[in-house]
Amino acid sequence: MGIAAQGRGVSNHGAYLRGPLTALGLTAALAVAVADQAVKLWLIFVFDLGARGTVNVLPGVDLVLTWNTGISYGWFQQEGPFGQGALLALKVIAVALLWIWLARAGSRLTAIALGLIIGGALGNAIDRLAYGAVADFVLLYLRTPAWSFNWYVFNLADVAIVAGVVGLLYESLIGDRAAKAP
């Protein structure tokens, strides 16, 4: 930053959070967070999924309301306010770091992928603030007469996070910007 800019009181701190594709990524994040919360609010308060119990949607797909007080796959369950606050603080730090990465994104795919991850994290963070746990509701399973497999229960925010990670993996391993062997 030059002397003239310093003299006018202009700060370069905002450059960490703004880049050419930041608006695209944040638009994706906002869309994910809003859609996630809209679906959760409808399922919890209008459809009353908690009172309905398990609702079969398709073979292998059920809706069932569960409250996750931990992180992905139900790991690190936290019942008390300290643990919940620690998980929320970790989420805030992760979103801040992802936003800084977003400000430096060099492709639209990277920006959208980061936006999906940020939006999913925000959607789940809103749950943690509002309810002290994350509302999950989709159960995928496979059952045969001799065998049964249940996937973990997840929500739209989780789908967005996974889609964002897949996008980043594609970009780094296969996409135009992937490192290529000589």
Beta bridge partner(s), residue 136: 66
Residue 136: active-site member: yes
Which of 58, 168, 43 minimizes the C-alpha distance to 115? 168
For the question of residue 62 being annotated catalytic, the response is no
Selected catalytic residue, list 36, 62, 127, 158:
158
For residue 182, give both structure tokens: 């000589």
* Cα–Cα distance list, 61 to 142, 144, 159 (Å): 9, 14, 15
**Spatial CA neighbour of 125 closest among 96, 168, 165:** 96
The catalytic position among 36, 127, 136, 176 is 136
d(CA 116, CA 11): 29
Classified as helix, coil or strand, 17 is coil
Backbone angles phi, psi at 5, to 5 degrees: -65, -40
Q: Which residues are catalytic?
A: 136, 158
